[in-house]
Amino acid sequence: MRIVNVVGARPNLIKIAPIIEQLGQYPQITQILLHTGQHYDYTMSKIFFEQLGLPEPDIYLGVGSASHAQQTARIMVGFEQVLAEYRPDLVLVVGDVNSTLACAITAVKLRVPLAHVEAGLRSFDRRMPEEINRIVTDALSDYLFTPCADANQNLQREGVPEEKVFFVGNVMIDTLLKYEDKVLRLDMFKQHGLRAKGYAVLTLHRPSNVDERGVLRGILEALAVLQEHIKIIFPVHPRTVKMLKEFELWEMVMSLCDLLLIEPLGYLEFLNLVANARFVLTDSGGVQEETTFLGIPCLTLRENTEWLVTVREGTNKVVGSEKDVIVAESRRLLNAGEEKGKPPDLWDGQASVRIARVIAGKPCRAG
């Protein structure tokens, strides 16, 4: 059985790593790792390959950044050629980036069975490109591997046949648990002159936050208030740096003495910062998952989230991008005691084991 595993962006690598490891336990399975090149530079992606023990991609499409339509089209053209040459029995995609959508459509058009890891998540906001990617990929998939109970419910409401849906849990937690001891032994926060629980972590990269000057400035104004009460460490995404300079907000950022800007970090180093933080401010889906599992309070700087389970059961609260709300919720966390949620069902480090068992036990070829 020949499987093409698709990655395109940094979060995909965290999800695919344990799946590749578990599928490798089955001698009848041959794996091909394809990187579309949707996001790729050394700091933001290659270091993840090294830290997670991933093999170098067998195929690298190198599509680079572009508009949604151009990027999707380039991936589809390149992936069509790959499928024609390798003739796989299954294409496995993870998450909700453009690479996920493009490879899903291409596989199904060529009648290659499709598996989607992290199926069923919904933000119910179709203004988000990721929501479109999720909906379409799920509609096309033969195997839908879901991470939480509400994902199962979403697919049921959408009429997906029950026999296609497999509730396996969250593969990102598989990776987190594998490296947890190594993460906790690091001292990234000390290297930056911080003390445990004496700082907040910030990540900011979504177009809805950084591509609109008014929104970005409002978030910065909130940070200007917060950094007077707690130090904030900010691994800055290259896209965010670009927009801060383009909007002439860079000087404002640099004037905030207790907002510490650092280069993007590897997976282990970033998790060490998160695990020792008082709380986290983010617009990342993956960070919502990680903070819920680690029990770290999280304020999500978005209007909605596909990870509703982290709000219902975990430590996450969706606060949007308004200055006053961000400040008020951050102050609440500073003045409150520890807030403890709980990991959702099957966030136990065994999701990739379950995925591999299903794939190895039920190989199929469509049509």
Domains defined for the chain, CATH in brackets: 2-170+347-361 (3.40.50.2000), 186-335 (3.40.50.2000)
What is the mean predicted confidence (pLDDT) over 155-165? Answer: 97
What is the mean predicted confidence (pLDDT) over 292-304? Answer: 97
Whole-angstrom distance, CA of residue 189 vs CA of residue 197: 10
Q: 126 exposed, middle or buried (CB, 10 Å; 0-12, 13-18, 19+)?
A: exposed
Write down the catalytic residue from 35, 68, 192, 205. Answer: 205
Q: Smallest Cα–Cα separation from 8: which of 81, 91, 86?
A: 91
Who contacts 8 (Cβ-Cβ below 8 Å, separation ≥6)?
Answer: 35, 36, 37, 38, 39, 75, 97, 98, 99, 100
The conformational region for residue 48 under phi > 0 = left, psi -120 to 50 = alpha, else beta, is alpha
Q: Residue 19 gets which letter from DSSP?
A: H
What is the mean predicted confidence (pLDDT) over 272-290? Answer: 97
Q: Residue 344 gets which letter from DSSP?
A: P
> Which token pair is 163?
């026999």
The secondary element (H helix, E strand) that includes residue 93 is strand 90-94
Whole-angstrom distance, CA of residue 63 vs CA of residue 129: 18
Q: Is 237 a catalytic residue?
A: no
Whole-angstrom distance, CA of residue 246 vs CA of residue 213: 9
pLDDT band at 108 (very low <50, low <70, confident <90, very high): very high
For 180-213, the pLDDT digits (tens) are 999 999 999 999 999 999 999 999 999 999 999 9
What is the mean predicted confidence (pLDDT) over 99-122? Answer: 98
Spatial contact of 316 and 310, defined as CB atoms under 8 Å apart: yes
Whole-angstrom distance, CA of residue 25 vs CA of residue 21: 7
> Which token pair is 361?
């036990």
Q: Is the overall model pTM greater than 0.75, yes or no?
A: yes
**Given a cut of 50, is residue 367 above it in pLDDT?**
no
The secondary element (H helix, E strand) that includes residue 235 is strand 231-235
Pure H helices in the chain: 10-23, 47-51, 68-86, 98-109, 129-140, 149-157, 171-185, 188-191, 207-210, 213-226, 238-246, 250-254, 267-275, 285-294, 308-312, 323-335, 351-361
Which phi and psi (to 5°) does residue 109 adopt? -60, -30
Three-state DSSP at 175 gives helix
The residue that leads in pLDDT, 252 or 48, is: 252
Q: Smallest Cα–Cα separation from 103: which of 122, 123, 77, 66?
A: 77
- In the chain, pLDDT over 70 holds for what percent of residues? 96
**Given a cut of 70, is residue 85 above it in pLDDT?**
yes
Give the model's pLDDT for residue 366. 38
pLDDT band at 47 (very low <50, low <70, confident <90, very high): confident
Mean per-residue pLDDT of the chain: 94
pLDDT band at 364 (very low <50, low <70, confident <90, very high): very low
Give the model's pLDDT for residue 267. 94
